[in-house]
Chains A and B, each alone.
Chain A
Amino acid sequence: MNDKTIKDIVNREYQYGFKTEVEQAKTIKGLSEETIGAISAYKQEPKWMLEFRLNAFRQWKKMTEPTWANVHHAPIDYQNIIYYAEPKQQKKKESMDEVDPEMKKTFEKLGIPLMEQKRLAGVAVDAIFDSVSVATTFKAKLKEAGIIFCPFSEAVREYPELVKKYIGSVVPATDNFFAALNSAVFTDGSFVYVPKNTKSPMELSSYFRINTEGSGQFERTLIICEDNSYVSYLEGCTAPKFDTNQLHAAIVELVALDHAEIKYSTVQNWYAGDPKTGKGGIYNFVTKRGKCLGKHAKISWTQIETGSAITWKYPSCLLVGDDSIGEFYSVALTTGYQEADTGTKMIHIGKNTKSTVISKGISAQRSNNNYRGLIQIGKNASGARNFTQCDSLLVGSECNANTFPYHDVQNQSAQVEHEATTSKISDDQLFYFQQRGIATEAAMSSIINGFCKDVFRQLPQEFAVEANQLMDLKLEGSVG
């Protein structure tokens, strides 16, 4: 692909990605079997898919919202959410001037246009705007390698056997309240299938964008890696600034067969609410889980969580295959009034399964940052090993950090290690930098990057820089 076409794609992508004034073609508000039927109809789904949704909805009605997480919010009115919002694609506004100035500033500061360019050069992108996928790049090139990378709704129509086989196999519809909700009303997301003996020739990436006020986003992503295959996938998320809270309840399911490896990275930057009042922002209630079904399979989660008013998210691994490996690398940064309750579950089922958990929580201003993790070693998981390191960094004196580790070990031969530290960026440290001529913002950035480097180095290179910049941007003005 030559430079010119890349540039064309960049420009096109850009318009889709960051506009706020988009006319809606269709919206569906409120939750009932009728609205679910309408979503399914818009997506032109087969009957079995509608049945799956309705079944989930019936289960959901019997469930109650979980309250065990250390986060606080007013009750959510599930009838007052727009479950489906489709932008009218032909009537896009062409000018950058119409983008919300605050958003524009944010993206300019972030250097996203540049990053988009860089990213697109060697990365395939699926862009999801509200409830529909608006563009998927490099589809044809990936197809040559036998890899399917397409919007989820397209996969339901084009590859029903694959979807039917794996959907709900990692996160059952009844797994939890928000998973059931998603299973009933999910709209779009990405679908990836990597056949046997195939290494994806490029990074795959999805860009999620909530654009419509009052709408929720219920995306669904499914990645399947057959024997001896490999894929690295990255998702990025943004949303404009609204005073009302918006619900984002996604499901991500990963399946890795024998000797397959899936690397899943997230840079989450949903709108976090007003930093001074805590008003607005996304409720990010997400169920992400991978299943190492095959022997020697490996699933690695890397997440940089910087946005959302509330994050409730535990990307987990079911280590079923013998000698399979699960990894979780996380940086969760909370500022303003943000609350995060995030961590992982490593469920060791097969023999000699290994897991590594590195969690770095940074809390600033009045935020509340919690790590919650479960390490479970099953009866048959002989030789299983886990190493967990859980570090918290406090900035200022009004924030909060907690660690909730759970260990459930049922096999005597297992080795489970947990290390935890809590530290604080002190005025003394900042003064030390200053006395050496280094200004406070640069000092903060240096300390934070030092704290996070074990996680940042897990990110695909293109995104490591972005992660750094994002952290700096988020922390701007949180000193003093």
Chain B
Amino acid sequence: MLEIKNLKAGIGNVQILKGIDLDIKAGEVHAIMGPNGSGKSTLAKVLAGDPKVEVTSGTIRYLGGDLTAMEADVRARAGVFMAFQYPIEIPGVNNASFLRMAFNAKRKQNGEEEMDPLEFDEFVKQKMKIVEISPDFLMRSVNAGFSGGEKKRNEILQMAVLSPKLAVLDETDSGLDVDALRIVASGVNQLRSKENAILLVTHYQRLLNYIVPDFVHILSNGKIIKSGDKSLALEVEEKGYDWLLPCSEQTIRGTERK
């Protein structure tokens, strides 16, 4: 589904991703872990098409096509979804119309008829059960005045409504208490299928107790330095990241800490 080859990308003049190779097939769940500043979120953004991130070399193939040549909205309608680390507030635009706009944009793309508000209301209420959100939420402005947990649940609701082929979850677990984490994780698990793939970007192993990955990759200084199965995450949890880093980098990081 997704093939990333020697991807280099950065923001402004700063190169952040320094040669990423990653293959994700339908039905798989991959977790990207790594210390702060390793480039995890940049990788998520590059996949979503954030205009702030510039690809300098390498390729990203998605369903056989060149992903980097597609605008962010085109990617989204082609099934790429990113759950934001910091979901954006849109005052004045309510959730119901936002969700319906997004949903219908995709339907239109697929040559399907747009869903009218009444029909959509029924549809979205079913989806809301997945993330345990109360119905009054639909009339509130998108993310405006939401708690951290509500924002993250809203991301998963959007994911449920749009049923993406490739879902990238950028630190969806950060800032969540145990209950919210359980709800969000169970939401994601319900959406997991043989047809779609999920890329989890996370700082902590905690999330992976709830959403069990097929593969774990450790990202450091813009490169994947180790890949393995879920046991790799546990190992990191126990020992930290330092033992994985090349010696030269340990020194640099050590210097930074001073």
The interface of chain A, by Cβ under 8 A from chain B, is 423, 426-429, 431-440, 442, 446-447, 449-451, 453
The 5 closest A-B pairs by CB, nearest first: A450-B92, A437-B76, A436-B102, A434-B72, A432-B88
Stretch at the interface among B14-22, B47-55, B125-133: B47-55
**Are A447 and B73 in touch, CB under 8 angstroms?**
no
User: Would you give the shortest CB distance from B90 to chain A, in whole angstroms?
Assistant: 6
> Within 8 Å CB of B51, what residues of A?
427, 431
Answer whether residue B77 sits at the interface, using C-beta atoms and an 8 A cutoff. Answer: yes
Chain A facing B: main interface SS: helix
> Within 8 Å CB of A450, what residues of B?
90-94, 141
**Are A432 and B141 in touch, CB under 8 angstroms?**
no
Q: List 28 A-B contacts (CB under 8 A).
A: A427-B51, A431-B51, A431-B72, A432-B88, A433-B73, A434-B49, A434-B71, A434-B72, A435-B50, A435-B72, A435-B76, A436-B76, A436-B101, A436-B162, A437-B102, A437-B162, A438-B76, A439-B73, A439-B105, A442-B105, A446-B97, A446-B101, A447-B90, A447-B93, A450-B90, A451-B91, A451-B92, A453-B92
Question: Which one of A436, A438, A439, A451 has the greatest number of beta carbons of chain B within 10 Å?
Answer: A436
B84-129 at interface with A (beta carbon < 8 Å): 84, 87-94, 97-98, 101-102, 105-106, 109
- A438 and B141 CA atoms in complex are apart in Å by 17
> Within 8 Å CB of A439, what residues of B?
73, 105
The interface of chain B, by Cβ under 8 A from chain A, is 48-52, 71-73, 75-77, 81-82, 84, 87-94, 97-98, 101-102, 105-106, 109, 141, 158, 162
Selected from A431, A433, A437, A453, the residue in CB contact (under 8 A) with B77 is A437
**Are A438 and B73 in touch, CB under 8 angstroms?**
yes
> Within 8 Å CB of B93, what residues of A?
446-447, 450
**Are A437 and B109 in touch, CB under 8 angstroms?**
yes
- A426 and B52 CA atoms in complex are apart in Å by 13
- A442 and B90 CA atoms in complex are apart in Å by 14
> Within 8 Å CB of A428, what residues of B?
88
> Within 8 Å CB of B87, what residues of A?
432
Selected from A431, A436, A451, A453, the residue in CB contact (under 8 A) with B98 is A436
User: Would you give the shortest CB distance from B44 to chain A, in whole angstroms?
Assistant: 11
- A442 and B114 CA atoms in complex are apart in Å by 16
> Within 8 Å CB of B49, what residues of A?
434-435
Residue of A nearest to B105 (CB): A437
> Within 8 Å CB of B50, what residues of A?
431, 435
- A435 and B84 CA atoms in complex are apart in Å by 10
> Within 8 Å CB of B76, what residues of A?
434-438
Residue of B nearest to A452 (CB): B92
Selected from B71, B89, B92, B158, the residue in CB contact (under 8 A) with A436 is B158
- A447 and B142 CA atoms in complex are apart in Å by 11
User: Would you give the shortest CB distance from B171 to chain A, in whole angstroms?
Assistant: 15
Residue of A nearest to B90 (CB): A429
- A138 and B71 CA atoms in complex are apart in Å by 52
The answer to whether residues A438 and B102 also contact, given A427-B51, A431-B51, A431-B72 and a CB cut-off of 8 A, is yes
